[in-house]
Structure 1
Amino acid sequence: MPNWGYIAIIILACYIVASIALYYLQEYFIFKPEKLDKEFQFHYNNQIVEEYNLETRDGAIINGLHFKVENPKGVVLYLKGNSKSIKGWGKFAVDFTRHRYDVCMLDYRGFGKSTGRRSFKALKRDLQFVYNKLKEQVDEKYIILYGRSMGSGFAAKLASINNPKMLILDAPYYSLSKVAAKYIPFMPVSLIMRYPIPTYKWLKYVNCPIHIIHGTHDRLIPFKSSIKLSKIKPKLTRLYTVIGGGHKNLNNFESYHKMLGEIINSKMRKINLSNTSIGVQHAKKGVNVQA
C-alpha cells in the first residue's frame, strides 16, 4: 500500500521548487533580447535617423533611435515587443514618418546596446526618464504613445501618469500575468510573476484618446483581450479590427495602414448628441408607436 503522506510531501516539494525556479528564471521566457556591439551602425534606406544614448541615475545606458522628418506634426514614442532589438524594429518607423511624424524608439535594458540590470521597477523608471527627455523637446500634446505587444502595457503605464496626445495599443494583452496563467494554470502566477504588467489596471487612469488595434487570428494574445480592454474606458476608446491578422503580421495588411493613418491624423471633435437617436428605445413587441 502506497504511503500517501510521503507522496504528497514529494509532490508539494516539487511544486515549491518549480515555483521558485519560475520566479528566478522567468526573464528567460519573457524577454528574447538581441544584443548589439557598441560599434554597430544603424542604417535605414530613405530615412533620416540619429542614434542617442541616455544615462540613467543608476548608471545604465538606454540606447535608442530618433527618426526625423521635416516640419513634423509630432513625435511617436514607439515601445516595441519583447524580442530582438531596435535594429529590426526600426523598419516600422516608416509607417509614421510617411505621415510626417518623428519616431523615437528605444531598447529596453539588456536589449541591443542598452545596458543595466533589468527589473520591473527599473523598466518603468527608464521609460518615464525617456518620456521626460522627450517632453523637454516637444509639448506633450504632440506626443503619441504607441505600444506593440509587450510594449503596449508599458505604453499604457506612461499614458496613465502623463498627458500625451493619444495612446495606441497594438496587439495588447489584458495583463502579462493572465497570459502566463494560460500556459501554466497550475502555478501560483499572481505570486511568482515579477513582471505582471497589468495593462487593464493602468488603462483606468488614462485620460487621452485610446486606440486599440488587434488581429482576429492572433494566437498568442487573443483578440478577446482587446475587447475586454476596450470596455475599461469606453468613452475614450476605439477598437480597430484587422480581419485575419495574426500577432506578428499586421503590417502586411492594407487595412492596418488605413487604420493607422486615420488614427494618427484624426482630430477629436465633440458630438452634439441632442439631435441624434441616442436615448431612443425600440418599441416593445405588441406595442404600436405613433410616427
Structure 2
Amino acid sequence: MVLLKSLSLGFLSAAFVLAALALLLRLLENRLTFYPWHEFESLPEDFGLDYEEIRLCPAAGATVHGWYFRPRETEAPVLLLCHGNAGNISHRLEWLAPFIRSGLGAVLFDYRGYGLSSGKPGEIAFREDALAVWEFLTLRKGIPPRNLVVIGRSLGGAPASWLAGERESRCLVLEGVFGQGKEMAAKLFGFLPVHLVMKNRWEIARSLKRVAVPVLIIHGTRDEVVPFRLGERLAAQSDPSRVTFWPVEGGGHLDLDQLLGEEYYQRILKFIRGA
C-alpha cells in the first residue's frame, strides 16, 4: 500500500509539474515566438531605391507601417512579402533590392508590434496585416491581383499561405517554412506537449490546400532553424501539380540568396514569370 501511495504521489507530482510548465509556456508563448525590432538598420535610399512610405489600419488600435516600391512597368509583378518573426523591414532590404532592380514592384511591411507598426503581434494579427496590404495594393494602387506575388519567409509562410488561399494572386513563394506550428514546438521543447496549449497554430499545410495558384517551396538542406525535413514533408503532402519543391544543397535558414547569388534571383524570377 505504501508503495502504491508513493507511486500515485509521484505520478501526480509529475503531472502537476508538466501542467505548470505547459501553463507557463502558454503565458510566455508570444515572448518565445516574436522578436520585433523597432529601430531601422537601413533605409531604401541606402540601396538607391525609390519608395513611398505607407501606413495602414488593419484593425482598431493597430497600424501597419511599410514601404511601397512602384514597378518599373504597369504590368510587372509586385511582391507582397510576409517576413519572419524577428527584426523588421529594414533587415529585408538587401534581400529585396535585386528584385526591385530587375523591374518588379514590392511592398515591405511590418506586422503590428514590429518596426513603426503599432499593436500586438499574433497569428490572427499577422493575417489581418497581410490582408490590409493586399487591399492597399489592389484597391488603392489599382494593381490587378493577377500581378501580385505573395512571398512568405520562415514564420511569414503562415500569413502568406493563408492570404494566397483567401485572395487572388499570381503565385506563392515560400522559403524556410514548416507545415504546422506543433512541428516547431516539438523541435524546441521535445517531449513536452506544448502544442496542446498553443494559442497560435501556424497551419501552413492546411492553408496550402486552399491555394489554387502555383507554389514554389524553397528550403536549405542545412537549415538550422526550420529543419529541412519539415519543408520537404510540407512539399510531399502538397499537390504536385501546383507545388514545386526546390531543395538547396548546403543552404541554411534564409541565407540562400547569399549562398547562390544571381542563381537564386533568376530562378525565382523565372518561376514568377512562368506562373
Q: Specify if TM > 0.5.
A: yes
Amino acid at match of 2:215: I
Query: Hey, what does 1:30 align to over in structure 2?
Result: 33
Query: Hey, what does 1:229 align to over in structure 2?
Result: 234
Alpha-carbon distance between aligned partners in 2 of 1:125 and 1:148, rounded to the nearest angstrom:
17
Which of 184, 188, 195 aligns to 1:183? It is 188
Q: Give the secondary structure class of the aligned counterpart of 1:226.
A: helix
Which of 147, 154, 163 aligns to 1:149? It is 154
Residues 17-47 of structure 1: per-residue CA shift (max 9 Å, x gap): 111111110111111110238xx97643211
Query: Hey, what does 2:50 align to over in structure 1?
Result: 48
Change over 3 Å in CA distance of 1:76–1:19 after alignment to 2: same
Query: Hey, what does 2:244 align to over in structure 1?
Result: 238
Query: Hey, what does 2:111 align to over in structure 1?
Result: 108
Q: Per-residue deviation at 1:69?
A: 4.1
Alpha-carbon distance between aligned partners in 1 of 2:211 and 2:66, rounded to the nearest angstrom:
26
Change over 3 Å in CA distance of 1:59–1:96 after alignment to 2: same
Query: Hey, what does 2:133 align to over in structure 1?
Result: 130
Change over 3 Å in CA distance of 1:45–1:65 after alignment to 2: same
Amino acid at match of 2:34: F
Residues 25-76 of structure 1: per-residue CA shift (max 9 Å, x gap): 0111111110238xx9764321112221112331211111112343251210
Matched, 1:8 2:24: no
Which of 164, 168, 172 aligns to 2:173? It is 168
Please say if residues 242 and 256 of structure 1, whose CA atoms lie closer than 8 Å, have aligned partners that are also in contact: no
Query: Hey, what does 2:271 align to over in structure 1?
Result: 263
Please say if residues 67 and 93 of structure 1, whose CA atoms lie closer than 8 Å, have aligned partners that are also in contact: no
Moved more, 144-153 or 225-234: 225-234
Please say if residues 71 and 78 of structure 2, whose CA atoms lie closer than 8 Å, have aligned partners that are also in contact: no
Alpha-carbon distance between aligned partners in 2 of 1:43 and 1:264, rounded to the nearest angstrom:
26
Q: Give the secondary structure class of the aligned counterpart of 1:104.
A: strand
Alpha-carbon distance between aligned partners in 2 of 1:11 and 1:34, rounded to the nearest angstrom:
38
Amino acid at match of 1:239: F
Please say if residues 51 and 69 of structure 2, whose CA atoms lie closer than 8 Å, have aligned partners that are also in contact: yes
Query: Hey, what does 2:21 align to over in structure 1?
Result: 18
Amino acid at match of 2:199: R
Which of 196, 201, 217 aligns to 2:201? It is 196
Query: Hey, what does 2:91 align to over in structure 1?
Result: 88
Residues 98-128 of structure 1: per-residue CA shift (max 9 Å, x gap): 2211110111111111111333222222221
Q: Per-residue deviation at 1:212?
A: 1.1
Amino acid at match of 2:144: D
Amino acid at match of 1:263: F
Equivalent residues in 2 for 1:249-288, closer than 5 Å: 249-252=255-258, 253-254=260-261, 255-266=263-274, 268=275
Matched, 1:78 2:81: yes
Residues 261-290 of structure 1: per-residue CA shift (max 9 Å, x gap): 322232x4xxxxxxxxxxxxxxxxxxxxxx
Query: Hey, what does 1:214 align to over in structure 2?
Result: 219
Structure 2: tracts of 5 or more residues without a match:
none
Structure number with greater Rg is 1
Please say if residues 82 and 130 of structure 2, whose CA atoms lie closer than 8 Å, have aligned partners that are also in contact: no
Alpha-carbon distance between aligned partners in 1 of 2:211 and 2:194, rounded to the nearest angstrom:
26
Q: Give the secondary structure class of the aligned counterpart of 2:186.
A: helix
Q: Give the secondary structure class of the aligned counterpart of 2:47.
A: coil
Amino acid at match of 2:200: Y
Structure 1: tracts of 5 or more residues without a match:
269-291
Alpha-carbon distance between aligned partners in 1 of 2:220 and 2:230, rounded to the nearest angstrom:
11
Please say if residues 89 and 108 of structure 2, whose CA atoms lie closer than 8 Å, have aligned partners that are also in contact: yes
Alpha-carbon distance between aligned partners in 1 of 2:47 and 2:225, rounded to the nearest angstrom:
31
Q: Which has the higher contact order (CA 8 A, sep 6+)?
A: 2
Aligned residue-pair number: 265
Moved more, 211-220 or 183-192: 183-192
Amino acid at match of 1:66: Y
Please say if residues 99 and 265 of structure 2, whose CA atoms lie closer than 8 Å, have aligned partners that are also in contact: no
**TM-score, normalized by length of structure 2?**
0.89
Alpha-carbon distance between aligned partners in 2 of 1:100 and 1:248, rounded to the nearest angstrom:
23
Query: Hey, what does 1:285 align to over in structure 2?
Result: none
